[in-house]
Amino acid sequence: MSQSTWAVAFCLALGASPVSAQVTAQLPPSITPPWTGGIQAINQTNYWNAVACGKQGGQRPLCVFYDAVLCPNDDFTLAMFTPYKMVAYEVWRAVNQKLEAPTPSYAEAQRTRVSLKLTPKPAAKNPAAGLTIKRGTQVVKPVSQSLEAGGIGTFIFDFAPFAPTEDISLEMAGKARTISCAIDKSVLSAMR
């Protein structure tokens, strides 16, 4: 048995799926308004930046929907929900309906953590089984997770794993294989 075959068999015996695809996180360079603080708890600065983001309107402003292109892969669609995105989305939705821009609840934004949702792509046949974050040698597990019918998984994290102080990787585990998405700290700092 070759070493790689043995490693795959060992991972499967432990109930883990082997990392069999590596992708690199990307963000379009033209996201406005500019942001370099990364994902963080809501504060006065990112709250008003998020309001400005939502006021842009348009079909799918990148400051709200950047996660759709963050970790391109053949197995999962990634959706993120953060306090910033909560505020920006609420404003964007109103502006898109030609309504006056609301002032979203600051208190509700303060209670919001970071949620990542994995939805398996039908052709992949790789239902979500877990998601962890690697920071150096440390593996950060979600504080809460739920796996739904259809292989959809929702994973909630605190803010610290997303601090733009070092590169991380999202380990998107499916029942058939794991997709690892490398996110360097410059991309982390532009995430909101």
d(CA 70, CA 184): 12
Closest CA to 50 of 99, 101, 116: 101
User: Is residue 29 within 8 Å of residue 57, measured between CB atoms?
Assistant: no
Task: Give the model's pLDDT for residue 18.
Answer: 61
Say if residue 131's pLDDT is above 70: yes
Cα separations (Å) of 3 from 7, 9, 19, 158, 181?
6, 10, 15, 37, 24
d(CA 60, CA 183): 22
pLDDT tens, residue by residue, 73-129: 999 999 999 999 999 999 999 999 999 999 999 999 999 999 999 999 989 999 999
Say if residue 161's pLDDT is above 80: yes
Question: What's the whole-model pTM score?
Answer: 0.87
DSSP 82-118: -HHHHHHHHHHHHHHTTPPPP---HHHHHH--EEEEE
Cα separations (Å) of 182 from 23, 48, 60, 124, 172?
6, 29, 24, 20, 11
d(CA 155, CA 142): 6
Token pair recorded at residue 170: 């999202």
Task: Give the model's pLDDT for residue 17.
Answer: 55
pLDDT tens, residue by residue, 35-62: 999 999 999 999 999 999 999 989 999 9
Task: Give the model's pLDDT for residue 2.
Answer: 41
Q: Which pLDDT band, with edges at 50, 70 and 90, does 4 fall under?
A: very low
d(CA 112, CA 46): 14
Q: Where are the domains of the chain?
A: 3-190
- At a CB cut-off of 8 Å and minimum separation 6, what does 132 contact? 139, 140, 141, 142, 170, 171, 173
